[in-house]
Structure 1
Amino acid sequence: MVTKEEVEKIVNEIVDGKFVRSIEVNDKGDVTVTLAKDTPDIDNVLIRLHSELGKLEGIGLITINREREVQDGGENVKLTEDMILEKLKEVIDPEIGIDVVNLGLIYEVKVRPDNTVYVKMTMTTPGCPMTMWILRAVEDKILEIPGVKDAEIELTFDPPWTPDRISPEYKKRLGLY
């Protein structure tokens, strides 16, 4: 099983320690790393961390978070799944030109009682070069919503994405009907 020391060693090789807020490793080998919101070159750091941590023996789920502030003015806002989905329509897959909702990348949305938003999503292919960018954009859009405490994004490829998941409106626009 992976140890916290092994994880810390890799994290410290990739990112300056002053940007690391916490590192947690549970008994299943799941790792959670929380970085400062101002971590430089965050996209590159996220990709490298995920890649290098994934090489460790006994590693489980890898979660890399960024420090967040709760948006002001949302204390009395009743968050809904529809609100989240509507906001996620602002995240456009740059390679395809369709938002992640109409493209069918969003599998599940849950608003938890503490106003943390959970999203289970996929990419069009496991090797999508825009994966980290899209995941970060989804997280950022959710966190723009007043009242959202935090966002948890789970990436899955089960079931794999197919063009059948594209919304009927966009299938028509793309000539898939």
Structure 2
Amino acid sequence: MVTKEEVEKVVKSIVDEKFIRSIDVDEKGNVTVTLAKDTPDIDNVLIKLHSEIGKLEGVGLITVNREREIKEADENVQLTEEMVLEKLKEVIDPEIGLDVVNLGLIYDLKVNPDNTVYVKMTMTTPGCPLTMWLLRAVEDKILEIPGVKDAEIELTFDPPWTPDRISPEYKKKLGLF
């Protein structure tokens, strides 16, 4: 099984130590790394960390977080799923050029009474090199919505994504009747 020391060595080879907030490895080999919110070139760092930690023997689930403040919920703001979906249309898959909503990557979305938001989403392929970037972009966009207290993003590949999930409007634009 992977050790915390092995993970620390990889993380410190990619990120300056002053930006590392915590590194945890549990008994199943699941790795959680938390970085400072001001870590330079964060998108590339997230992708590289995920890739390099994944090469270690005995690694389970890899989670790379950024430190952030949990906001107090504004009880006067009435959040809706429609508001969240509209905001998520700003997250464009850079490889395909479509937003995550019209591409059909969002499987489930819930706005909870405490103004936290839950999203279950997928990628077009399990090996998508932009997985960490897209997950982070979705989380960031949700947290930009006034009144949102926190966001939880779950990644799933069940069921697998297919082009059938693309919205009818975009299927027409792409010529995929």
Report if aligned partners of 2:71, 2:150 keep a CA contact under 8 Å in 1: no
1:6 aligns with 2:11: no
Gaps of 5+ in 1: none
The 3 A distance-change label for structure 1 pair 108 and 30 is farther
The 3 A distance-change label for structure 1 pair 145 and 61 is same
State the Cα RMSD in Å.
2.4
1:96 aligns with 2:96: yes
Gaps of 5+ in 2: none
The farther-off stretch of 26-35 and 105-114 is 105-114
The number of equivalent residue pairs is 176
Q: CA deviation at 1:71?
A: 4.9
Q: How does 1:6-155 map to 2 (within 5 A)?
A: 6-71=6-71, 74-76=73-75, 77-111=77-111, 115-155=115-155
The 3 A distance-change label for structure 1 pair 162 and 42 is same
What's the secondary structure of 1:119's corresponding residue? strand
Which residue of the partner structure matches residue 165 of structure 1?
165
Report if aligned partners of 1:81, 1:109 keep a CA contact under 8 Å in 2: yes
What's the secondary structure of 1:169's corresponding residue? helix
Q: Distance in 2 between matches of 1:66 and 1:153?
A: 13
Q: Distance in 2 between matches of 1:3 and 1:99?
A: 38
The farther-off stretch of 99-108 and 81-90 is 81-90
Q: CA deviation at 1:141?
A: 0.4
Residue identity matched to 1:137: A
Residue identity matched to 1:138: V
What's the secondary structure of 1:154's corresponding residue? strand
Q: Distance in 1 between matches of 2:134 and 2:141?
A: 10
The 3 A distance-change label for structure 1 pair 56 and 150 is farther
Report if aligned partners of 1:117, 1:152 keep a CA contact under 8 Å in 2: yes
1:174 aligns with 2:171: no
Residue identity matched to 2:119: V
Structure-1-length-normalised TM-score: 0.83
Identity %: 83
Residue identity matched to 1:62: I
Q: CA deviation at 1:79?
A: 4.0
